[in-house]
Amino acid sequence: MASLTFPETLFRRIALRGLLALFACASLGMAKKTEVTVRFFEEANAMDTDKFARVITFKHPPRKGYISSVPAVHEGMIKAVYPFQAPDNTWGCTFFLNANGQMSLDVVSTSHKGGTLVAFLSTKTGTHQAAEMLIDQRITDGIISIPSGLTELEIEAIKQNWPVVGVKKKK
């Protein structure tokens, strides 16, 4: 049995790593695509550049301001939901976050205390500013809510994408 020389061994290792990387990228493409996105952005500084912040019109109180270009919490961090009927006959939803989301929410609620957290919800029909929340305390439990303003169709899309707390899965 002939032994491999150093260049042949190195080439095989590189080729194997390349195949593994290609397989990993291909499997990422097969990941579940969500029909709804839920993203929470923290209020940003006016001195941030266009790459880090974007202009927004806050609703409560009405004013111009900036939010971060990158969401602090996004749909990939949601592990479960709890939709509920709001007092104004719209819908609200509580989001239970995974460990990454819990840590991110803890960091943003600590570092941006006194600022605003803005929730955006997107479905096939469009994107809208769903809620604005004052960050008035540290949030360590990884639970965040959009208190109202969601439609029944948006709630159905949310329920299709994440497990609903208190509802057993159909077998």
Residue 140 confidence (pLDDT): 95
For 37-161, CATH gives: 3.30.1360.200
pLDDT digits (tens, 9 = 90+) for 77-126: 999 999 999 999 999 999 999 999 999 999 999 999 999 999 999 988 88
Q: What is the pTM of this model?
A: 0.76
Tens digits of residue pLDDT in 39-74: 999 999 878 777 888 889 988 888 899 999 999 999
Q: Residue 26: its pLDDT value, please?
A: 45
CB 155 within 8 A of CB 93: yes
Give yes or no for a cis peptide into 61 (omega within 30° of 0): yes
**pLDDT for the residue 34:** 57
Residue 168, pLDDT score? 75
How is the chain split into domains, by residue range? Answer: 1-31, 37-161
Q: What pLDDT does 89 receive? A: 94
The pLDDT, as a whole number, for residue 25 is 45
